[in-house]
Structure 1
């Protein structure tokens, strides 16, 4: 995860006032267009959610070698922002009584118990979802490559992965871990008696949301292509490029969505967070654990609670932040993720807020 965005929260009232203004989407479009031009980003998409109002903007093309414009239906890879979906599916099983946050991993998979590292004997679903299970991060390619996978089915691959990961040394509690979410997905599918892939697909289809597993241009070349830097040049990764995440890692960060449907997903959470009961599943997902809860990070700035998450595999970037008190959410997609592109995402959001303030002041004058 990258740095938390440094929003000027004194401007949230400004955004709320402007959320009713039909100029909002045009503002997003123009700011995105300026940002991609200045920072050499092939495409960006963004959405601002307030209450029941959702405004979208897009700019650029699916790749730096294409003239095809992105739209609000173009899929982008959301990477680790997939973890919020994994958490949500876990809470569905909790609500059905099939799981609890305190369910130990090894109570469902006793065959994974070994004498190599007893620290893992008592880890729970709660530990895995909040990055407190002390399992290795598996956020880099060299870590992933050290695991030998021979099975064919993803459920079997995850079991094979788990048997090796649970023999490795522990890391500090709070270490961000893709491996932890792979283990959590095993618990979810075991309790549901259905593969994680099928569970997530069923949820997306029930919502009528478009999606793909893996990089979206591998599904359809008309969706956004990821880009990275080679020899100081921004290079588009073609559908047949070797780079991809192992398919058994879906729960950790391999979902692709369009800006319109992803904004509706955030809207669902904003609405759910209006119930301030601490036992409400949305409150638990976002705020039960300080700093990093279940699929969401959280903090307090200027007295306001906010939750957030960023995701990237180095070729796309997704940022999302929610301010439930103001019924506000902001998300940004990009199909490039070099450091300068990430800085541009944060800069663009600041520019968006400032521009909204100018328009509101003009309307009130």
Structure 2
């Protein structure tokens, strides 16, 4: 049996190697719970990370939003096939046909087709969501709703506004009533004033001397709460995991057993690095193990992972406070599967497409808040992610250039054969659209 000291040794070593100031790994291993913490929450104060330290979990927040929506569907207050324009009469999209076709189902499965990374609007008033989604007529429509899956913060934001209208409550109150309080998640919050008096992690960027420097701002606004606003402890993340993994709940279950399982079933085929989209879980495999997952990234300064392996009775959450947390999360998940279940991640050896297949992908692709410059480099593509100037000015560190090869099935793979995207077929919008980072992005 794996001992807590083994996990602690792994976490201490890996966090130090990747220069992550502070991190937590939490595990549901059948009936037992394992937690390890390391490092410091804020290099400015030296406060140690503890089990009570709150972290911004980022996009795993979407699954709480999805759970609330599925409860409303279960109760008959909302319908998967309801038109969004009927629920939100003032809502508009740039494409009238897309507006007419857009359904609740498309929001839950990241298939609305409009630009998925819309800008935030400053402010913490109760009208924050309403003000934001009123501007969606300015978003370009990349594809017809339901055509393909393309990760959409903007779509989940609309779903949050739908929840407000259907329940007659502020979004955060609806989530608290339906999910947070019934699961006994007493250390889970949406508002900075709830967090500030409690021990919490601060995101870090690399300073000029290479040392981690605290990010001197709160990088969230209220309108993004549905897609990324949750701040939570490892204990609460494990409570949430035990519900979606095993159906355990301190109070009335947020959704029924049938709905909980339905959320984890494939609804729409996706593209690497996932297999499919659930409601709205991301579905994939770790070796032979089926996994239901999410994770989050707040300005490349607080990164998290959240993985359920239902058939293995295993759940893992990783919470970190710097960009190195992405690699730490990947290694921690690999370590847990190997040491707790003897399962290794397998990657098929890449059979490469002919070199001419690369030429059609060359160009600049717009994702709204950033763009990808894609160039040919011999038998590979060099992809550079360039943040919009105002986004970079927030302190978000630049991403390293990626070297990607094209597999014979169209998948874009790194040198270690990790699939991170795919070339789209003409019927899906390719080559004018490229699927990378879970998103379909459009060539300029």
Aligned-residue Cα RMSD (Å) equals 2.7
1:222-268 per-residue CA deviation (whole Å, 9 max, x = no partner) reads 31111123434421124xx2x52221110010101111110111111
Picking from 251, 256, 267, the partner of 2:242 is 267
- The 3-state SS of whatever aligns with 1:47 is strand
Indicate the residue corresponding to 1:30 in structure 2.
Answer: 9
Alpha-carbon distance in 2 for matches of 1:215, 1:333: 18
Deviation, 1:283, is: 2.2
Match in the other structure for 2:302: 316
Cα distance in 1, alignment partners of residues 141 and 339 from structure 2: 47
Offset of residue 159 of structure 1 = 2.2
Distance 1:356 1:286, change over 3 A: closer
**TM-score, scaled to structure 2:** 0.66
Other-structure match for 1:255: 230
Give the structure, 1 or 2, with the largest relative contact order (CA under 8 Å, sep 6 or more). Answer: 1
Q: How many Å separate the matches in 1 of 2:340 and 2:193?
A: 32
Change (3 A) 1:123 1:279: farther
Give the unaligned 5+ runs of structure 1: 1-17, 359-365
Partner of 2:82: 103
Equivalent-residue separation in structure 2 for 1:282 and 1:43 (angstroms): 32
Q: Which is worse superposed, 290-299 or 129-138?
A: 290-299
In structure 2, distance between residues paired with 1:152 and 1:60: 32
User: Paired residue for 2:263?
Assistant: 285
Partner Cα distance (1:325, 1:152) in 2: 41
CA distances 1:303-351 after superposition (whole Å, capped 9, x unpaired):
5422111201121011011111111111111111x2x442232223334
Q: Which residue of 1 aligns with 2:212?
A: 234
Are 2:63 and 1:84 equivalent residues in the alignment? Answer: yes
Q: Deviations over 1:182-231 (max 9, x none)?
A: 10011112111211111123332333321221569962363111112343
Q: 1:211 to 1:40 in 2, by over 3 A?
A: same
TM-score computed with the length of structure 1 as normaliser: 0.79
The answer (yes or no) to whether the contact 1:116–1:168 under 8 Å persists in 2 is no
| Secondary structure of the structure 1 residue equivalent to 2:48 | coil
Q: Which has the higher helix share?
A: 1
Q: What's the CA shift for 1:78?
A: 0.3
2:33 to 54, 68, 74: 54
- Residue 74 of structure 1, CA deviation: 0.9
Displacement of 1:152 in angstroms is 6.9
**Larger mean Cα displacement after TM superposition, 61-70 or 112-121:** 112-121
> Paired residue for 2:360?
none
- The 1-side partners of 2:257 and 2:184 are apart by 28
Any gaps of 5 or more consecutive residues in structure 2? 249-255, 270-275, 343-444
Q: CA deviation at 1:108?
A: 1.0
